[in-house]
């Protein structure tokens, strides 16, 4: 899909598509794609072993990993409000699912590993799209360069879990079944492609932390549906957890909105001297941010050296 879109875009606009060297592909997109595959593969594997409540509770730790990685890569600034938002959301989800899970050690380990990979994946994606000098602003380009690496980590999991079943299905010789499965795969692929384009666009325009926080809404909806379908009752502890989670989401939205407003409107500054002072401070902050980009690049260099 990404190849088709890149081809159409090139023919329609006569603009050359972004091209990258092999070493950049390996050092930057390799870790991003492999961690993406681990996230998807282990998440689905773990979901076979645990119920939705335990899955959601464990997967909610992804927001903590996103925050840690974002702080390491200097993509977010450490503030008390930011920590309160993250722990309010993760703590709320924990309370919402407390004592409603059938624990599975293997499932828990798989999903926790997937959560770590998810945090690693989205912070690296944000760095590539916002901080690197590759000129990679399009979500379609990110998918084009990332998906081959993602396949490398997903395919072994597929062979281990579903290889025998897939070979058995191929030997059934049922043409109607082939057509039905192929249509389901195509529809699912189109939905997945649209989802990933949207996710990368959000990461590029905002941050990986924002994407994770907004994704919590999906987790809350899944939990509410699970409670309703399973006939569980909304205990006061669950209501408290849901309220904490929604407060964290609202707090993050307010924090991002307030941060995106011009400094003058945030603080009511109208004095020219004050404006000059703030302009000097902003300039210094930008210089500090630029100086940390080199240190951020070290992470990719370390990953590349360890792999080689």
How is residue 274 written in tokens?
Answer: 């004050």
Report the 10 Å Cβ neighbour count for 201. Answer: 17
pTM (2 d.p.): 0.68
> CB-side exposure of 89: number of CA atoms within 13 Å?
31
Domain residue spans of the chain: 2-260
Asked if 125 and 208 touch (Cβ cutoff 8 Å), the reply is yes
Asked if 122 and 66 touch (Cβ cutoff 8 Å), the reply is yes
Q: Could you give phi then psi for residue 122, rounded to 5 degrees?
A: -75, -30
- CA 91 to each of CA 84, 222, 244, 248: distance values in angstroms, whole numbers, following the listed order: 10, 17, 7, 10
- Which residues 6+ apart lie within 8 Å of 114 measured at CB? 38, 39, 40, 41, 42, 43, 46, 59
pLDDT per residue, tens digit, the chain (308 aa), is 999 999 998 888 888 888 888 988 898 899 999 999 999 889 888 888 887 767 777 777 777 777 777 787 777 777 787 778 777 777 776 776 666 556 678 888 888 888 888 888 888 888 888 876 777 778 899 999 999 999 998 998 888 888 888 888 777 766 667 788 888 889 989 998 998 999 898 888 877 777 777 777 776 776 677 666 766 566 777 777 777 777 777 777 676 666 666 554 554 554 444 444 444 444 444 455 454 455 555 556 656 665 55
Could you give the dihedral angle defined by the CA atoms of residues 241, 246, 248 and 250, in that order, rounded to the nearest 10 degrees?
Answer: -170
């Amino acid at each position: 899909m990404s190849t088709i879109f890149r081809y159409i875009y090139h023919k329609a606009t006569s603009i050359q598509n972004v091209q990258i060297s092999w070493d950049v592909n390996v050092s930057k997109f390799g870790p991003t794609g492999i961690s993406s595959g681990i996230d998807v593969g282990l998440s689905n594997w773990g979901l076979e072993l645990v119920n939705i409540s335990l899955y959601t509770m464990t997967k909610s730790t992804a927001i903590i990993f996103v925050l840690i990685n974002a702080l390491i890569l200097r993509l977010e600034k450490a503030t008390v409000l930011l920590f309160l938002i993250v722990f309010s959301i993760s703590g709320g989800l924990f309370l919402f699912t407390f004592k409603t899970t059938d624990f599975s050690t293997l499932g828990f380990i798989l999903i926790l590993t997937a959560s770590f990979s998810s945090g690693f994946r989205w912070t690296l994606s944000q760095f590539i799209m916002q901080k690197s000098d590759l000129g990679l602003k399009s979500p379609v380009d990110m998918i084009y360069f990332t998906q081959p690496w993602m396949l490398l980590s997903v395919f072994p999991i597929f062979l281990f879990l579903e290889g025998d079943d897939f070979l058995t299905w191929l030997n059934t010789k049922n043409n109607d079944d082939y057509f039905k499965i192929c249509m389901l795969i195509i529809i699912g692929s189109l939905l997945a492609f649209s989802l990933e384009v949207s996710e990368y666009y959000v990461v590029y325009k905002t941050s990986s932390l924002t994407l994770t926080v907004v994704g919590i809404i999906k987790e809350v909806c899944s939990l509410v549906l699970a409670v309703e379908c399973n006939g569980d009752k909304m205990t006061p502890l669950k209501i408290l957890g849901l309220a904490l989670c929604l407060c964290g989401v609202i707090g993050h939205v307010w924090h991002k909105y307030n941060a995106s407003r011009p400094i003058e409107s945030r603080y009511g500054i109208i004095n020219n001297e004050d404006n000059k002072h703030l302009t000097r401070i902003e300039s210094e902050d930008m210089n500090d941010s630029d100086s940390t980009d080199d240190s951020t690049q070290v992470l990719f260099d370390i990953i590349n050296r360890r792999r080689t």
